[in-house]
């Protein structure tokens, strides 16, 4: 049975650029008891695509146990019983209310494996932003592992055919898949980035290359694992950007704040994290203006996803900026992120 795309629209184009950054940030967010319940609920609603918690399961649907939630065989049985689209919907709705994005993403990987086992790439369009595309990442990872000789250009064409204007999220998943099969090492990253050149351009920051960088910084295939960030070694906060081809430098720096947010630890207050990350963006080790702008942009998106459109969030750029230029870059990206990342509440 060929699935249809979920009625819930995927979050707009910034979504991939932020999702693992906020997963790490959300982990800190939940563990730090100084955050208020109100902000937590706002973040959960924003990050899960604002689907209603009062949802009632459709006739014939199934509610899994906690163990079944991470059981591929269970979800394979549901795909066989009700089809990919309905099974995916059940999986999303089965995540306990209030859980953070890493849990949704992990469940997405599990149900994605079941969908791939059932229909290969045919039903990948059922995957959407509510699992932060974990479903799509797993489908693409399994496909690349099973068909390593398939031409990447052919796979990119399939993304264009199935996803249309949202092809970027499919090509982004290719980046995750390439990194997963090439290995989470510097050599694996270099190989994945070179392969991504055959799939998408660096101009579109949310596409294949960003997926490879994200997979390098996080092991995103471990169901339910909340601590899979790559550790900081020898205070190398800018790794691996100084070790890769300069063509990918700005893209690499753009990904650092997402990694930093988790790597700075749960004990540091979020305001101090924002300030520390901004200071790292202005450090001389961020050696080009383009990279510095991308670094600041990433912080602005983190602010949006953790604190939404609140007055406090809107004040953050001013509080962490030392120059008018820094504040302008941060403010512009923040306002853009508010418009594109926070869905209308239906």
Residue identified by tokens 């202005």 is 282
- In sequence order, the 6+-apart residues with CB closer than 8 A to the CB of 234 are none
Per the domain annotation, does 264 fall within a domain?
no
Range of the domain at 45: 15-249
Per the domain annotation, does 332 fall within a domain?
no
- pLDDT for res 12: 36
Give the pTM: 0.74
Give CA separation, 58 vs 55, 69, 342, in Å. 9, 18, 27
* Coil, strand or helix at 267: coil
HSE, side-chain direction, 13 A CA sphere, residue 105: 27
- pLDDT for res 323: 97
Query: Which backbone phi and psi does 207 adopt, to 5 degrees?
Result: -95, -145
C-alpha 66/C-alpha 90 separation (Å) is 13
pLDDT in tens, the chain (346 residues): 433 333 333 333 344 444 444 444 444 433 443 333 333 333 333 333 333 333 333 445 566 777 788 899 999 999 999 999 999 999 999 998 877 677 888 899 999 999 999 999 999 999 998 888 889 999 999 999 888 877 899 999 999 999 998 888 899 999 999 998 899 899 999 999 999 999 987 666 668 999 999 889 987 655 544 456 788 888 899 999 989 888 899 999 999 999 999 899 889 999 999 999 999 999 999 999 999 999 999 999 989 878 888 899 999 999 999 999 999 999 999 999 888 766 542 3
Residues in the chain: 346
Confirm if 175 and 255 have CB atoms less than 8 A apart.
no
Question: What's the number of domains the chain is made of?
Answer: 1
Per the domain annotation, does 254 fall within a domain?
no
Buried b (16+ CB within 10 A) or exposed e, 305-328: bbbbbeeebbebbeebbeeeebbe
Per the domain annotation, does 226 fall within a domain?
yes
Per the domain annotation, does 4 fall within a domain?
no
Average of per-residue pLDDT values in the chain? 80
Per the domain annotation, does 44 fall within a domain?
yes
Give CA separation, 135 vs 60, 172, 235, 335, in Å. 22, 13, 34, 29
Residue identified by tokens 């055919």 is 161
Per the domain annotation, does 7 fall within a domain?
no
Per the domain annotation, does 287 fall within a domain?
no
């Amino acid at each position: 049975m060929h699935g249809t795309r979920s009625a819930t629209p995927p979050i707009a184009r910034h979504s991939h650029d932020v999702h693992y950054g906020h997963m790490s940030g959300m982990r800190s967010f939940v563990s730090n008891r100084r955050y208020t319940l109100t902000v937590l609920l706002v973040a959960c609603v924003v990050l899960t695509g604002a689907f209603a918690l009062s949802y009632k399961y459709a006739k014939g649907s199934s509610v899994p146990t906690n163990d079944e939630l991470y059981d591929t065989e269970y979800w394979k049985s549901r795909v066989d019983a009700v089809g990919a689209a309905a099974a995916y919907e059940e999986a999303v709705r089965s995540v306990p209310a209030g859980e953070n994005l890493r849990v949704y993403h992990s469940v997405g990987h599990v149900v994605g494996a079941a969908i791939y086992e059932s229909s290969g790439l045919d039903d990948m369009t059922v995957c959407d932003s509510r699992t932060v595309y974990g479903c799509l990442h797993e489908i693409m990872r399994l496909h690349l592992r099973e068909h390593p000789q398939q031409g990447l250009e052919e796979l990119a064409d399939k993304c264009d055919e199935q996803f249309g204007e949202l092809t970027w999220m499919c090509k982004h998943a290719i980046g995750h898949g390439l990194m997963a099969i090439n290995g989470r090492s510097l050599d694996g990253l270099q190989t994945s980035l070179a392969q991504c050149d055959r799939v998408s351009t660096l101009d579109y920051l949310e596409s294949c290359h960003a997926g490879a960088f994200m997979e390098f910084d996080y092991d995103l295939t471990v169901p339910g694992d909340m601590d899979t960030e790559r550790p900081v070694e020898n205070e190398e906060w800018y790794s691996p950007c100084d070790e890769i081809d300069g063509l990918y430098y700005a893209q690499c720096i753009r990904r650092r704040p997402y990694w930093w947010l988790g790597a700075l630890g749960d004990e540091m207050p979020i305001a101090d994290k924002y300030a520390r990350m901004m200071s790292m963006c202005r450090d001389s080790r961020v050696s080009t203006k383009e990279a510095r702008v991308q670094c600041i942009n990433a912080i602005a998106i983190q602010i949006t996803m953790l604190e939404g459109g609140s007055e406090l969030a809107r004040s953050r750029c001013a509080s962490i900026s030392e120059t008018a230029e820094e504040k302008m870059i941060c403010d512009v990206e923040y306002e853009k992120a508010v418009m594109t990342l926070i869905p209308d509440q239906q």
